[in-house]
Amino acid sequence: MKRRSAIKNLMIFAGGIYLLPSCAGDGKSSIELKNLDILVGEEALLGEVAEAMIPKTSDAPGARDLNLHLFTLKMVDDCHSAKDQKAFKAGLASLNKISLEKNNKPFNQLDAVAGARFIESTLKDTGSDPALRTFFEITKRRVIQGFTNSKYVMTDLKQYEMVPGRYNGYFPVGKG
């Protein structure tokens, strides 16, 4: 074996060993959070909830395509109180349990219509789990906020016109 090829193979092997821990993943969320401790499965479940709120259609992206679940996580982590963060985490943890009780299926196995019905009935039911109710209220608020501020809405749906706007020479002038 030649010395150059041996050194090259050794460097490739060392680089692979260096990168291996980052590829394995530790089950944490895909974004960096300071206050919340969210696992990959919980992040995927939040993605399902967001997708049930704003589903993908043939001409519009859904919540998961716009990463609204990640936006929700970041906003809860940065902008909500510790009490709300604790209720959010507890509601996310109890979501599948309550879905099993009501629908005999975990939430991520429900179809889009059944998921939306489950969210709506949980928000209307005043006697339901308060942590789950808080979770849905926060998630609904942040998903809608993320959608209305997304690049898709701001560029494709809203037609912004620079101030002072276009000149309309035929605009009727009333008596003032």
Per residue in 44-98, pLDDT (tens digit) is 999 999 999 999 999 999 999 999 999 999 999 999 999 999 999 999 988 888 8
Helix runs in the chain, H state only: 3-24, 40-53, 68-79, 82-103, 112-124, 130-148, 151-152
CA distance 73 to 21: 25
Within a domain: 44:
yes
Within a domain: 121:
yes
Q: What is the per-residue DSSP string for 58-81?
A: SSS--TTTTTHHHHHHHHHHHHS-
pLDDT for the residue numbered 142? 96
* Nearest Cα residue to 66 out of 160, 154, 158, 159: 154
pLDDT for the residue numbered 19? 67
* Nearest Cα residue to 91 out of 46, 125, 121: 46
Within a domain: 70:
yes
More confident: 123 or 73? 73
**pTM to 2 decimal places:** 0.74
Task: Give me the domain span that covers residue 143.
Answer: 25-154
Within a domain: 128:
yes
Within a domain: 168:
no
Within a domain: 20:
no
Within a domain: 9:
no
Within a domain: 97:
yes
Q: Is the pLDDT of residue 36 over 70?
A: yes
What's the number of domains the chain is made of?
Answer: 1
